[in-house]
Amino acid sequence: MPPRLELRNITKSYPGIIANDDISMSIMPGEIHAVLGENGAGKSTLMKIIYGAAQADSGEIFCDGKPIAAHTPATSRALGIEMVYQHFALFESVTVVENIALAVSSSFDLDTLARQITELSNRYGMPIDPYRRVHDLSVGERQRVEIVRCLLQAPKLLILDEPTSVLTPQAVVKLFETLRQLAAEGCSIVYISHKLDEVQELCDTATVLRNGKVTGTARPKESTSAQLARLMVGAELPEMHVSPSVPSDKPVIEVRGLTAPARDKYGVELKNVSFEVRGGEIVGLAGVSGNGQAELISLLSGERTHANALSIQIGGKAAAHLNASERRKLGMAFVPEERLGRGAVPPHALWQNAVLTAHRSGLVRNGLVDRKQANSFAAKIIERFKVKANGPQSSAQSLSGGNLQKFIVGREIALEPKLFLVAQPTWGVDVGAAAFIRQTLVDLSRSGAAVLVISEELDELFEICDRLLVICQGQVSPPLIRTKTNREEIGLLMTRVDRGNGTNGRGEVAIQD
């Protein structure tokens, strides 16, 4: 039997960097194959080449023994190859079903397709409403749309580039069941993830890339995650140091009775949210995506303002009516979950993206942008956070996902905030860099800053947080001390069963099926 996919000597370079260097590998039908590697190792580039969204400079690709000619995403789809991009490729202004319709090859009518989407997405534990517009969706929901789009096509080869980075644990369990079933039916799967436990659970074989080259192969089920991590990073992971926290007397941010209507009819209403974060501590906000996190974050960051100025106080000052820039003057910094288009301007160079929020740190003088300062500011972030980029001149969109995340986190930390809001801090970041970012967050808090981490990764929250809050259906639980609670308690709070009104059972649906 010929392999489902065979790559021979694939090479691809971008200005200043060889993203893929003579890569060969093959995947049999029904095999679940992991591609592992640090940020910027060239994984996404390789996947885009397999899918035809990028062209290799040299090398050949065979599908079922036949070379693929005139390779484009359309020819790939005709061959049964489907791909979930790391940075989603959805059209913002149209609905989910219209988006999916664009990628479906057979003829269809929208209503039937919508029904299929509803049915399939519920079956796979990733419920989505086909009639919602994509720009209203959270990243987690967009991820589900992408996956469902691929599953609808009954693919022969499925490429998943970090599909679980923003899925709930329950949805991940469901997804894995689905993937195993697909594999049992002969579908080959290429799976990229920085979450090594997932890789161990799911994948039969793995190829490890470093700096664009294949540096090894592994059988994840027979290896420990430390072994895998070493293969990827080429060194042992650093130990985390979490010293005990000494919280300040006064809270740095205080939220009192914050109530806000939903952004739109699919949003979540915030009901009487109260909590505080003191200097010197890290507070984690756990919750299933789509339970009001997006609303809460935009109200905390100042992207949305609130008429009742006192409902949010920063450093003792009423702040709910202030915009993001004014709150930053009070010492706030913020990392949003969308890195492209919100945390960074995609076509702008990194030095320009440094100016975006660091303009108060001497990057602007007499109303003019000081390019030299901006360049050296960006260069420092690149160095300190080991961002793989071709210097401060490279555009944000040319960076690999994890590297852009490192750059944004680095930029915000370099502002030396008193209050640090961060959503999904290690989303898409490799194990080595994730450990580094977590350590940096801990150090930042121990130096006196108040840190609020919004994350769906309970492991991460348990590793670094001093106290935990849980958000569910727009309500935030009282704080729990990390050392006095456990995953089960948090998990229960995250999926509190909604009595009576059935409009908001999303968290619930995710575990029921």
Partner 1 sequence: MAAPVIATVLTLLVGSLLFAVLGYDPLATLQAFFITPLNSLNGLSEWLLKASPLILIACGLAVGFRANVWNIGAEGQLIIGALAACGVGLFYPNPDSWLLLPLMFFAGAIAGMAWAAIPAFLRARMNTNEILVTLMLTYIATLLLSWLVHGPWRDPAGFNYPQTALLSAAAMFEPFDYAYRLNASVFITVVAVFLMWLFTDRSFLGYKMSVSGAAPLAARYAGFRESAAVWTGLLAGGAAAGIAGMAEVSGPLGQLSPQISPGYGFAAIIVAFIGRLNAFGIVLGGLLMSLLFLGGEAVQMNLGLSAALTRIFQGILLFFLLAADFFIFYRLRRIPEHA
Ligand X SMILES: Nc1ncnc2c1ncn2[C@@H]1O[C@H](COP(=O)(O)OP(=O)(O)OP(=O)(O)O)[C@@H](O)[C@H]1O
List interacting residues with partner 1 (CB under 8 A). Answer: 74-75, 78, 105-106, 301-303, 323-328, 334, 336, 338, 341-348, 352, 355-357, 359, 364, 367-369
Identify the CA nearest to 253 among candidates 335, 321, 316. Answer: 316
> Under the criterion CB under 6 A, does residue 353 sit at the interface with ligand X?
no
**Distance in Å, CB of 350 to ligand X, minimum:** 11
Between 127 and 155, whose beta carbon lies closer to partner 1? 155
Between 399 and 480, whose beta carbon lies closer to ligand X? 399
Structure tokens at 370: 């000081």
DSSP of 287-345: --TTSSHHHHHHHHHTSS--S-GGGEEETTEE-TTS-HHHHHHTTEEEE-S-TBTTTB-
**Distance in Å, CB of 342 to partner 1, minimum:** 4
Binding partner of residue 75 among Mg ion, partner 1, ligand X, none, CB under 5 to 8 Å per kind? partner 1
User: Would you mind telling me the total number of residues written for the chain in this entry?
Assistant: 513
Rounded Cα–Cα distance for residues 430 and 228 (Å): 12
> Under the criterion CB under 5 A, does residue 44 sit at the interface with Mg ion?
yes
Applying CB under 6 A, among 130, 401, 417, 474 the residue interacting with ligand X is 401
Rounded Cα–Cα distance for residues 121 and 152 (Å): 9
Residue 355, phi then psi, degrees to nearest 5: -65, -25
| Whether the Cβ atoms of residue 45 and residue 436 lie closer than 8 Å to each other | no
> Under the criterion CB under 6 A, does residue 340 sit at the interface with ligand X?
no
**Distance in Å, CB of 106 to ligand X, minimum:** 31
> Under the criterion CB under 6 A, does residue 280 sit at the interface with ligand X?
no
Q: Binders of ligand X: how many residues, by CB under 6 A?
A: 22
**Distance in Å, CB of 200 to ligand X, minimum:** 18
> Under the criterion CB under 6 A, does residue 14 sit at the interface with ligand X?
yes
| Whether the Cβ atoms of residue 97 and residue 128 lie closer than 8 Å to each other | no
**Distance in Å, CB of 367 to ligand X, minimum:** 32
Query: Counting runs of H as helices and runs of E as strands, what totals does the chain give?
Result: 17, 23
Residues 6+ apart with CB under 8 A from 366: none
> Under the criterion CB under 5 A, does residue 401 sit at the interface with Mg ion?
yes
| Stretch binding Mg ion (CB under 5 A), from 14-22, 39-47, 164-172, 489-497 | 39-47
**Distance in Å, CB of 41 to Mg ion, minimum:** 8
| Whether the Cβ atoms of residue 258 and residue 312 lie closer than 8 Å to each other | yes
Rounded Cα–Cα distance for residues 209 and 418 (Å): 38
> Under the criterion CB under 5 A, does residue 403 sit at the interface with Mg ion?
no
> Under the criterion CB under 5 A, does residue 212 sit at the interface with Mg ion?
no
Binding partner of residue 327 among Mg ion, partner 1, ligand X, none, CB under 5 to 8 Å per kind? partner 1
Rounded Cα–Cα distance for residues 58 and 181 (Å): 35
Three-state SS letters, 353-398: HHHHHHHHHHHEECCEECHHHHHHHHHHHHHHCCCCCCCCCCEHHH
Between 105 and 243, whose beta carbon lies closer to partner 1? 105
Query: Which positions from 414 to 433 touch ligand X by CB under 6 A, shown as an x/- string?
Result: --------------x-x---
Residue 310, Cβ density class (10 Å: 0-12 exposed, 13-18 middle, ≥19 buried): middle
> Under the criterion CB under 5 A, does residue 86 sit at the interface with Mg ion?
yes
Sites for ligand X among residues 20-49 (CB under 6 A): 37, 39-45
Contacts with Mg ion by CB under 5 A lie at 44, 86, 400-401
Contacts with ligand X by CB under 6 A lie at 14, 17, 19, 37, 39-45, 86, 388-389, 398-403, 428, 430
